[in-house]
Structure 1
Amino acid sequence: MDAAALGPGRDRDRHMPPTRIPYGDLPENVRSEVEQCTGEVHHAESAGSGLNSSVAAVLVAVGGKFFVKALPSDHRWVWTQAAEAAVAPFVRAIAPRLLARIVTDGWDVLVFEAITGHQADYTPESGDLRAVADLLTRLGEIPCPDVTLREAPLRLQRYAAPDELHHFAGPCLLHTDLNNANVIVADGRACMVDWGWATRGAAWLDAAYWTIWLISAGHSPVEAERWAQRIPAWQTATDAGLAAFAAANARMWHQIAGAQPDAWTRRMVVAAERWNVYRASRI
Structure 2
Amino acid sequence: MSPIDNEALWTLVRPYTGEQHEVQPTTRGNGSDVTALVNCDDGPVFVKACRNSPGGRRASIIRERLVNPYVRPVSPALQWHAADDEWIALGFEVIEGRSSDFTPESRDLPDVVGIVEQIGELPLPGKADEWQETRWDRFADEADAQLFRGKTLLFTDINPDNLMIGYGRAWAVDWSWPTHGAAFIDPSCLIVQLIAAGHTPESAEYWAGSCKGWTDADTRAIDAFAAATALMNRAFAERNPDAAWLGAMADAAQAWVDHRKR
- TM > 0.5: yes
- How far apart in 2 are the matches of 1:35 and 1:242? 48
Alignment of 1:174-189 (within 5 A): 174-189=154-169
Q: 1:271 to 1:21 in 2, by over 3 A?
A: farther
1:48 alignment partner, SS class: coil
Q: Which residue of 2 aligns with 1:56?
A: 35
Deviations 1:156-213 (A, max 9, x none): 1110110101211111101011021111101142101111210101111101100000
What residue identity is the alignment partner of 2:156? T
Q: Which residue of 2 aligns with 1:266?
A: 247
Say if 2:88 is the partner of 1:95. no
Q: Which residue of 1 aligns with 2:11?
A: 32
Q: Which residue of 2 aligns with 1:231?
A: 211
Deviations 1:30-89 (A, max 9, x none): 312312212211101111344211101111111111111111111522100111011000
Which deviates further from its counterpart, 222-231 or 258-267? 258-267
Give the superposition deviation at 1:21.
Answer: 3.8
Q: Which residue of 2 aligns with 1:132?
A: 112
Deviations 1:71-124 (A, max 9, x none): 111152210011101100001111000012211131111111111110011001
- How far apart in 2 are the matches of 1:133 and 1:72? 35
Q: Which residue of 2 aligns with 1:15?
A: none
Alignment of 1:117-196 (within 5 A): 117-148=97-128, 149-152=130-133, 154-196=134-176
Q: 1:49 to 1:98 in 2, by over 3 A?
A: closer
- How far apart in 2 are the matches of 1:114 and 1:135? 18
Number of paired residues?
259
Q: Which residue of 2 aligns with 1:254?
A: 234
Q: Which residue of 2 aligns with 1:275?
A: 256
What residue identity is the alignment partner of 1:41? Q
Contact kept in structure 1, 2:35 and 2:48, CA below 8 Å: yes
Q: 1:87 to 1:278 in 2, by over 3 A?
A: same
Contact kept in structure 2, 1:183 and 1:193, CA below 8 Å: yes
Contact kept in structure 2, 1:21 and 1:55, CA below 8 Å: no
Give the superposition deviation at 1:215.
Answer: 0.4
Contact kept in structure 2, 1:27 and 1:105, CA below 8 Å: no
- How far apart in 2 are the matches of 1:35 and 1:248? 45
Q: Which residue of 2 aligns with 1:47?
A: 26
CA RMSD of aligned residues (A): 1.6
2:69 alignment partner, SS class: helix
- How far apart in 1 are the matches of 2:55 and 2:261? 36
Contact kept in structure 1, 2:184 and 2:222, CA below 8 Å: no
Contact kept in structure 1, 2:29 and 2:48, CA below 8 Å: no
Q: Which residue of 1 aligns with 2:220?
A: 240
Deviations 1:241-266 (A, max 9, x none): 11111110110111111162422111
Greater RCO between the two (CA within 8 Å, min separation 6)?
1
Among 54, 65, 71, which residue is 2:50 paired with? 71
- How far apart in 2 are the matches of 1:116 and 1:22? 26
TM-score by length of 2: 0.94
Q: Which residue of 2 aligns with 1:211?
A: 191
Say if 2:96 is the partner of 1:85. no
Contact kept in structure 2, 1:176 and 1:206, CA below 8 Å: yes
Give the superposition deviation at 1:22.
Answer: 5.0
- How far apart in 2 are the matches of 1:50 and 1:31? 18
- How far apart in 2 are the matches of 1:177 and 1:207? 11
1:60 alignment partner, SS class: strand
